[in-house]
Amino acid sequence: MSAGSFYITTPIFYVNDVPHIGHAYTEVAADVLARWHRQSGDDAWLLTGTDEHGQKILRTAIANGVTPKEWADRLVETAWKPLLETVDIANDDFIRTTDERHEVNAQKFLQHLHDEGHIYTGEYEGYYCVGCEEYKQTSDLVDGTGDYAGQPVCAIHSKPVELLHEKNYFFKMSAFADRLLALYEENPNFVQPEAARNEVISFVRRGLSDLSISRSSFDWGIKVPWDESHVVYVWFDALLNYITAAGYGQNDEEFASRWPATHIVGKDILRFHAVIWPAMLMAAGIEVPKQVFGHGWLLVGGEKMSKSKLTGIAPRQITDTFGSDAFRYYFMRAISFGQDGSFSWEDLSARYQSELANGFGNLASRVIAMVVRYCDGVVPEAGALTADDLAIAATEQRVTDASRAFIETLAIHDALASVWELVDELNGYITLQEPWALAKNPDTRARLETVLHTAVGGLGTLTVLLSPVIPIATAKLWTALGGDGALADQRVDRAWEWTGGKHVSPLEPLFPRIESIVEPADA
RNA sequence: GGGGCGGUAGCUCAGCUGGUUAGAGCAGCGGACUCAUAAUCCGUCGGUCCCGGGUUCAAGUCCCGGCCGCCCUACCA
């Protein structure tokens, strides 16, 4: 496969949120895909960043006695960039919606839509809560009691809301319903997985109304270029990050080489990405995204993780005990990408123990230990190959191809399951060949060397194949195996070709046994 | 109210356009082995496929009706 552009994005973090494993999960998935493509010769580009405008942020900044920009700066540095380090994300760029490149070019986009007649002046009508200082959805309202019986009141303040009108600018999104439906029809992969696609289609079939894209009740946002008394609606602003980060408006060459992107999003924000966003792009005459993939929720105790139910888990709680590799592996392996998945400490420790420690980690230990013990660390040459040796080579090639195919469809869990067939087969091969028995008899020296050579080659293939998912442990192993160059430069699509370095060096357990798993208290 | 998805071994899940005795991993149990992180390998126990009808020579797999769970139902990002 020739080198192609692979531009992948995560949603940008709303800075006021508290980072939890759901955020980290999205990041890891996108990072694994980016690394995999990068190591397959593609020009991969991973973008992530932060969403920093909006009334809520303005309000919390004021409450903390700082400007909204200062508030956002603080959160970016103390919460969000550290999150990326915690789970070892190798992003190529980090965009903030307060970046000049974003604000300037988002305005350019908006002005363009305005010039082309996709925007008109309208009136927004909604229930406004004075206490909250914001418009409320009807779902946020409850029936009043006592003095307010019979009228809708704010669920937070229990005071009546006012029906207000505000001049707003509207985007003629309704005009794009047919084109959107045609897009979903002609390109079934545009929205995936299937369940997400169905939801989006049925939503659009019910008809689209126009979108209010400006606010004048507060000023923390991007100014509407032709009317600076308005700021751009946060979602409209936020979605544009995907193109402003890629050079839209300022570097046409770069933009042409990167766009369109694959968007990885949580299913909660699927609609914004699969409906509003492509409609915006259509209006601007820009190609729609390559794909919008909505992944599932992490379920804790069968329910969506949430702060209010105290089921929110900070990534550090996991990585402090198990490490970032285990975090990445666990969520990529245990959850079918695209579906909801259950998280439990029991499952995490069980998989850590059986798959990472006993399966892969122990395989690395036993292979290296035998080469050190029986061959003084020199990787032996292979002699005549038996059917068993050839079977290993065949499996190396098969799982390399299979995992690549699964990654193409974003089936990360299937790719890992495929790679693990090699882990299991190598463990079985070693047990069956009994190199420790071969080592006792000088007559079987050649056979011993062939077996160890085969085992080292297989382990090397695993190292390369797993490097996008568990980069730290595999890098250590790569060094121990005497691999040439940086592991991150090895081609994952040709992982099976590697047949061993010259020397191996002793290796500490990659995934040490964790004796007592104590469920961390709430952070 | 409308719509989507799901309910399969103790646990987490596979089972495509219906077709022989329903699968995997983990856990459990028994055995082998010792290179290795008390790891590995082999064997084994284990299921009214949510319930009730129906279509069919044949249904976990299609249809109807229930029950249960989660989610969406536009501008709270």
* For residue A498, pLDDT beyond 80: yes
Average pLDDT over every residue of A127-155: 62
Return the pLDDT at A432.
95
Whole-model pTM: value is: 0.93
* For residue A385, pLDDT beyond 90: yes
Chain B bases having any atom below 7 Å from a protein CB: 3-6, 11-14, 25-27, 32-42, 69-77
Average pLDDT over every residue of A58-74: 92
Return the pLDDT at A520.
45
- Which of A 184-223 have CB under 7 A of nucleic chain B? 195, 198-199, 202-203, 206-209, 211-212
Residue A248 burial (CB count, 10 A):
24
* For residue A522, pLDDT beyond 60: no
Return the pLDDT at A209.
85
Residue A521: band (very low, low, confident or very high) from pLDDT cuts 50, 70, 90 = very low
Return the pLDDT at A254.
95
Return the pLDDT at A155.
59
Spatial separation of the C-alpha atoms in residues A250 and A134, rounded to whole Å: 35
| Sheet of strand A298-300, all strands in order from the earlier edge strand to the far edge | A303-304, A298-300, A341-343
* For residue A516, pLDDT beyond 70: no
In the three-class reduction of DSSP (H, G, I as helix; E, B as strand; rest coil), residue A218 is classed as: coil
Give, in Å, how far the C1' of B75 lies from the CA of A172.
Answer: 13
List helix spans (H) across A48-191: 55-63, 68-75, 81-86, 100-115, 177-186
Return the pLDDT at A119.
94
Interhelix angle for A177-186 vs A277-284, to 10°? 110
Phi-psi region of A338 (alpha: psi -120 to 50; beta: other; left: phi over 0): left
Average pLDDT over every residue of A473-496: 95
Give, in Å, how far the C1' of B15 lies from the CA of A262.
Answer: 30
* For residue A374, pLDDT beyond 90: yes
* For residue A368, pLDDT beyond 50: yes
* For residue A94, pLDDT beyond 60: yes
Residue of A168, A175, A174 whose CA lies nearest to A212: A168
* For residue A1, pLDDT beyond 50: no
Spatial separation of the C-alpha atoms in residues A173 and A118, rounded to whole Å: 8
* For residue A517, pLDDT beyond 70: no
ipTM of the complex: 0.90
* For residue A309, pLDDT beyond 60: no
More confident residue, A516 or A188: A188
Structure tokens, A82:
């550290």
Tell me: the pLDDT tens digits for A399-445? 999 999 999 989 899 999 999 999 999 999 999 999 999 999 999 99
Tell me: the pLDDT tens digits for A222-271? 999 999 999 998 889 999 999 999 999 999 999 999 999 999 998 888 88
Residue A200: band (very low, low, confident or very high) from pLDDT cuts 50, 70, 90 = confident
Mean pLDDT of chain A: 88
Q: Is the CB of A513 under 7 A from strand B?
A: yes
